[in-house]
Structure 1
């Protein structure tokens, strides 16, 4: 039986990178996927691809920073497919890559709103739906090794917001454990996504990032999606409150 047979899973940040890879993988593993992101055209094309392969998918475009959108996405999931069994809160931005004294307050706030406040808003409306679905549901949030064990200069907003996601996960895991809802953070290493290429606009820069990892390469989005699949699936039924590193050994390299 497929890992997500008869499960409905919501994914944010689904239009590209890790979210897109997760949408394709989860659907292939039997999930009915509900996809959210700002770019509706990309979501529509992705849903069409999943449906053409025999999968079940729907989409709703919007801004994860908006409370009304967080609520509407959950409502759309339940109205379309019934009970919601898992959510992968993956949407995020890099934020300003500048020395901290040069960071504009507006840019700081934007990074926290997308990376942390949106995670809270997702949880706020996903949790009641997961509780309605019954015990065994799962919440997963994308954080980063940068917000956990390895500091990098000029990433204050990104690191602080993603570290906040880990704190949110740990609190929610303790809060929801008695109800049987599991909550975990996924900590990718450097991954070859549009966001990574925005941060490192040429191959030399990407190569330098790759060499920071013990495996001496970047991850492919599909590799991170496979770890997310483990966390949302029943295979991780006794895993909650974790910050799961899928980082190619970058954390141990930086010590």
Structure 2
């Protein structure tokens, strides 16, 4: 078993399901001492901890609320931990139609996907070790023009931009910041965010056979392995980049 995260502490926002949970599992499998996972659902977090075991600490936290981020910081400090790897992963994916989009819809997407990422990193910055790593979950939609996804796409473009700026802002601390952009990935966001029916999900999987060079929709652990690579010493000279993990979809 590899131990590239031996005795390290990782924080994963949005860590109760999907890609975030897969990152937490992978970090522990690689020897992490402790993983902190956050989410808005206590039920989902409890289920995640049952899966992850005693090295996982679950904290009900909404990244769009500064008070919740302060609570997360306090929880980490109370255990005397400093952070080796921060995965700012929490986000939502919802459709919107240009012409009928409300201010509330706009605020929801940008509060969670942009404000949430910004203030997660800013709040936890004092706990990040010299030479630590930050991985931001963006998306291939930041570089595409998919219909009815303008809010989601723009919010993820902002996340990708943060990786560039923060790589420069944090250079004196030797903290690396990179963006991870998944393609089609089978997570609960398909049902809970995009509101896809079972039939639509099957149709997407069939479409992937034709449009994705590798021919299928990714599983969360395939995205998580790329996230751990970016956070690990194996990526020690990789900084400010966007790593696209989409089976080749955006390359053709």
The TM-score range, normalised by the shorter chain, is: over 0.9
Structure 2 counterparts to residues 123-162 of structure 1, below 5 A: 123-130=121-128, 133=129, 135-148=130-143, 150-162=144-156
SS of the residue corresponding to residue 63 of structure 2 reads: coil
What TM-score do the two structures reach when normalised by structure 1? 0.91
1:38 aligns with 40
2:99 aligns with 101
Structure 2 counterparts to residues 96-245 of structure 1, below 5 A: 97-130=95-128, 133=129, 135-148=130-143, 150-198=144-192, 199=194, 200-201=196-197, 202=199, 203-209=202-208, 211-245=210-244
Equivalent pair of 1:11/1:33 in contact (CA under 8 Å) = yes
Cα root mean square deviation, aligned: 1.5
SS of the residue corresponding to residue 102 of structure 1 reads: coil
Alpha-carbon distance in 2 for matches of 1:101, 1:242: 34
SS of the residue corresponding to residue 148 of structure 2 reads: coil
Equivalent pair of 2:10/2:87 in contact (CA under 8 Å) = yes
* Gaps in structure 2 of 5+ consecutive residues: none
* Gaps in structure 1 of 5+ consecutive residues: none
Alpha-carbon distance in 2 for matches of 1:40, 1:106: 24
SS of the residue corresponding to residue 190 of structure 2 reads: helix
Aligned length: 245
Measured after TM superposition, the shift of residue 15 of structure 1 is 1.2
Equivalent pair of 2:137/2:179 in contact (CA under 8 Å) = yes
Distance 1:121 1:49, change over 3 A: same
1:17 aligns with 18
Alpha-carbon distance in 2 for matches of 1:50, 1:235: 24
Off by >6 Å, runs of 4+ in structure 1: none
2:30 aligns with 29
What TM-score do the two structures reach when normalised by structure 2? 0.92
Structure 2 counterparts to residues 62-77 of structure 1, below 5 A: 62-77=61-76
Bigger mean CA offset, 153-162 vs 39-48: 39-48
1:51-71: CA deviation from partner (whole Å, max 9, x where unpaired): 2xxx61111102110011112
Equivalent pair of 1:3/1:30 in contact (CA under 8 Å) = yes
Alpha-carbon distance in 2 for matches of 1:93, 1:212: 24
SS of the residue corresponding to residue 13 of structure 1 reads: coil
